[in-house]
Amino acid sequence: MDLFFEIHKDIPREGPGDNDSTRQALSMLKDIPNNPTILDIGCGPGMQTIEIAKNLNGKITGIDINKSFLNRLKKAAKDKNLSDKVETKEMSMFSLEFEENTFDVIWSEGAIYIIGFEKGIKEWKKHIKTGGYLVVSELSWLREDRPKEIEDFWKSNYPSMKGIGDNIKVIEKSGYQSIGHFIIPEKGWWQDYYNPLIKRINELRKKYINNKEANDRMDSTEEEIELYKKYSEYYGYVFYIMKKI
């Protein structure tokens, strides 16, 4: 079995986040229609897709390029009697196959980094109705006085990572009004993401005891987790809520 799939096959989320933060961001959308049309880009297994479907009347489409994540979302929607509100589509965020001005809300938790923050908010905009919203969470620097160890780690793993102020500047020069932002709490990193990952890695270490490639890969995930433990005050996942003007 592919190691990535083995590690991730039933981890609740594929990136930091939590349902309280999803609801907090939803509460910042003030004037959306009663039955909004929503797109969730890079939905993964869809914890946030389900939370949005539970809290809004409209229809939500989750797109991802990973079929097994989409199948998990489909099953979760069925189990929670939300199949009529949740649709899944295998589609890339690089080439959205939707008409212009289709969505009241585009949502993307922990996935816009794949296309790039600036490119994503610019390219996805045409699919949002004027006055509609884009909500994304993005890894962001929280402080300027960063220790070299963590600065170097993210410089090589995510060189275009910015501070909150710089991301808001990008939002405002890209044809949006910045409605607000907030930092997800640390529990959003541990509860449904890092803790289940640590547990899974501990199990797989035994299975792959003599497999260098598998161990290297697990080492790098553990390194990322250790660095978060040490430096969580310097960076975090930040929700950015913006309105197309």
Ligand X SMILES: C[S@@+](CC[C@H](N)C(=O)[O-])C[C@H]1O[C@@H](n2cnc3c(N)ncnc32)[C@H](O)[C@@H]1O
Question: Which residues of the shown chain bind ligand X in the complex (CB under 6 A)?
Answer: 13-15, 17, 42-44, 47-48, 63-66, 69, 92-94, 109-111, 114
Residue 137 CB, nearest distance to ligand X (Å)? 7
Closest residue to bound ligand X by CB:
44
Closest to ligand X by CB, 75 or 169? 75
Residue 69 CB, nearest distance to ligand X (Å)? 5
Under 8 Å between Cβ of 94 and 63: no
Residue 92 CB, nearest distance to ligand X (Å)? 4
Closest to ligand X by CB, 23 or 211? 23
Residue 195 CB, nearest distance to ligand X (Å)? 14
Closest to ligand X by CB, 29 or 111? 111
Residue 66 CB, nearest distance to ligand X (Å)? 4
Closest to ligand X by CB, 195 or 211? 195
Closest to ligand X by CB, 94 or 147? 94
Q: Three-state secondary structure along the chain? A: CCHHHHHHCCCCCCCCCCHHHHHHHHCCCCCCCCCCEEEEECCCCCHHHHHHHHHCCCEEEEEECCHHHHHHHHHHHHHCCCCCCEEEEECCCCCCCCCCCCEEEEEEECCHHHCCHHHHHHHHHHHEEEEEEEEEEEEEECCCCCCHHHHHHHHHHCCCCCEHHHHHHHHHCCCEEEEEEEECCCHHHHHHHHHHHHHHHHHHHHHCCCCHHHHHHHHHHHHHHHHHHHHCCCEEEEEEEEEEC
Task: With CA atoms as reference, report the closest residue to 164 among 140, 135, 133.
Answer: 140
Residue 120 CB, nearest distance to ligand X (Å)? 10
At residue 28, what are phi and psi to the nearest 5 degrees?
Answer: -90, -5
Closest to ligand X by CB, 67 or 169? 67
